[in-house]
A and B are shown apart, each in its own frame.
Chain A
């Protein structure tokens, strides 16, 4: 079945540091890939998405590129802020259907 593996956290960074959170997936067919963010006490918010190979999703300074050859969708940001502290989830939906398979989540802690 489908699965998503992402690096375990927490990831602890200083403000303005470079961020990478690794995500790899296993799926049949050609999934759509997503990054969601969850702030404390809140639901999930879609951060960015990519629907086909080599697509780059971007939002709020975050980027991720759909790499079919390495089945990866790593999240990056050039300069993190304290307000980016949250839990980040990598997810896929198989062949355009809306059911999501999530990774375990990676907590990001950014200190001033």
Chain B
């Protein structure tokens, strides 16, 4: 069974540009979450989608947005990139939101470098 797939694996962008990252969850999983990993802040929750609806959001500025499609694939977008947005962005999928279906499976991440 295929795991969580994130594309691209690496990105280099210039300050002020915008970027879109993609995540394909494990087949049958309906929940997708995004996390930002940096050396200074560690792993921080960005947002979670379930059945195309954002169910939870972390403490990030409005430049960070996301969406989920009917096939559960998700994208996150960062506009007006700043140097501090350089990070590993991890996507996780799970069967559902609560109860026994909450085990999260992570992709390999997208390494974003802003120059």
Contacts and interface: CB of A to CB of B under 8 A. Distances in A.
Interface of A: 32, 36, 41-46, 49, 89, 93, 95-105
B100 to A, nearest CB: 8
Contacts of A105: 42-43
Nearest to B4: A43
The 8 closest A-B pairs by CB, nearest first: A102-B43, A43-B106, A98-B102, A44-B106, A43-B108, A104-B42, A96-B98, A98-B94
A93 B31 CA distance: 14
B105 interface: yes
Contacts, number: 59
A45 B45 contact: no
A102 B42 contact: yes
Given A42-B109, A98-B97, 17 more contacts: A36-B106, A43-B106, A43-B109, A44-B92, A46-B103, A93-B102, A95-B98, A96-B98, A97-B97, A97-B102, A98-B94, A98-B101, A98-B102, A99-B33, A99-B48, A100-B33, A100-B43
A2 to B, nearest CB: 10
Contacts of B94: 98
Given A43-B90, A43-B108, A43-B109, A96 B102 contact: yes
A98 B42 contact: no
A99 B48 CA distance: 7
B105 A46 contact: yes
A45 B106 contact: yes
A37 to B, nearest CB: 11
Contacts of A46: 103-105
Contacts of A36: 106
B56 interface: yes
A56 B35 CA distance: 27
